[in-house]
Chains A and B, each alone.
Chain A
Amino acid sequence: MASRLAPATKPLFRAQLSSRPTNGHVAFIPQVRKVVFEYCEKWASSANTRSYLHRHLEDLARAHPHVEVVVKQRNYKPPIVRGFYLNDNEKVIGLNGFEITGIQNKVQLLLDSSGAKIKPLKRRTIESTTESARGIWSGLHVDETFKI
Chain B
Amino acid sequence: MALAALFRRAPLLLIVPDVAHPPLALRQCAARAVHTQADAPANATNALALIRAQPSKYVIASVAGRKYLLTPRDLLTVPRLNDVRVGDVLSLQQIHEIGSREYTLRGNPDIPSDRVAVQATVVEHTKGKMEEIFKKKRRKGYERTIKHKQTYTRLRIGPIDINLDRSS
Chain A residues within CB distance 8 Å of chain B: 20, 22-26, 28, 30-31, 111-114, 116, 118-122, 124-135, 140-145
Contact = CB atoms under 8 A, between A and B. Distances in A.
B83 to A, nearest CB: 13
Please classify the interface of chain A as helix (H, G, I), strand (E, B), loop, or mixed, using the class held by over half of its residues. loop
Given A112-B86, A121-B128, A130 B73 contact: yes
B75 A127 contact: yes
Contacts of A135: 101
Given A145-B26, A145-B29, A120 B129 contact: yes
B58 interface: yes
B101 A126 contact: no
Interface of B: 11-12, 18, 24, 26, 29-30, 33, 35, 56-58, 68-78, 86-87, 89, 99-101, 121-129, 150, 152, 154-159
Given A116-B126, A120-B128, A111 B86 contact: yes
B125 A113 contact: yes
Contacts of A26: 158-159
Given A113-B125, A127-B77, 19 more contacts: A24-B155, A25-B157, A28-B87, A28-B121, A28-B156, A30-B86, A114-B124, A121-B152, A125-B68, A125-B78, A126-B74, A126-B77, A127-B75, A130-B73, A133-B71, A133-B99, A133-B100, A134-B100, A141-B24
Contacts of B124: 31, 112-114, 116
B126 A25 contact: no
Given A25-B73, A121-B150, A141-B29, A133 B57 contact: yes
A129 B73 contact: yes
Contacts of B68: 125-126
Contacts of A125: 68, 76-78
A128 B73 contact: yes
A28 B122 CA distance: 9
Most chain B CB inside 10 Å of its own CB: which residue of A20, A24, A114: A24
Contacts of B129: 118-121
Contacts of B159: 25-26
Contacts of B71: 128, 130, 133
B56 A133 contact: yes
B123 A114 contact: yes
Given A118-B129, A121-B126, A121-B150, A130 B101 contact: no
A128 B121 contact: no
